[in-house]
């Protein structure tokens, strides 16, 4: 299948997050309590190196597999939605120590808790879909 490379990339990404402890509840707790550098090092390092890649995309030095220029999708504009939505997400992240990709990785570690997190996340996404026209941006 032409998209099987994404399957392998998922396996790789999950191993990276697992081996660097970036899926551990404790690592996010200490991050939000400013008691350790570990997660800042990981996320900060990822952002700085990605900035270099973004520049290479922009200048057309790295093209995609089909030879097309790479354009990262522009996030929807707004002030309230990223701030308020971000705060809701941060609450869930801070309590459970899970963000979006790690929820799926946690399936390999703690099946039932991961399932509960996912069911909750789908209900949350569903409610957002129902309300999306009514919420302030």
Closer by beta carbon to other proteins, 59 or else 74 = 74
Closer by beta carbon to other proteins, 59 or else 112 = 112
Smallest gap from residue 56 Cβ to other proteins (A): 9
Nearest alpha carbon to residue 137 among 51, 75, 93, 55 = 75
Smallest gap from residue 59 Cβ to other proteins (A): 13
Closer by beta carbon to other proteins, 37 or else 59 = 37
DSSP letter assigned to residue 63: B
Smallest gap from residue 109 Cβ to other proteins (A): 4
What is the rounded CA–CA span in Å between residue 32 and residue 22? 13
End-to-end Cα separation, the chain, in angstroms: 39
């Amino acid at each position: 299948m032409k998209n099987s490379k994404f399957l392998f990339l998922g396996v790789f990404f999950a191993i990276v997050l697992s081996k660097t402890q970036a899926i551990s509840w404790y690592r996010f707790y200490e991050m939000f309590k400013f008691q350790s550098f570990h997660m800042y090092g990981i996320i900060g390092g990822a952002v700085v190196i990605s900035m270099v890649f973004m520049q290479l995309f922009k200048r057309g030095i790295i093209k995609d597999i089909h030879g097309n220029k790479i354009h990262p999708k522009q996030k929807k504009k707004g002030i309230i939605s990223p701030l308020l939505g971000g705060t809701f997400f941060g609450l869930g992240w801070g309590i459970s120590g899970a963000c979006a990709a790690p929820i799926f990785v946690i399936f390999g570690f703690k099946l039932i808790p991961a399932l509960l997190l996912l069911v909750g996340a789908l209900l949350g996404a569903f409610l957002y879909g129902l309300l999306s026209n009514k919420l302030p941006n």
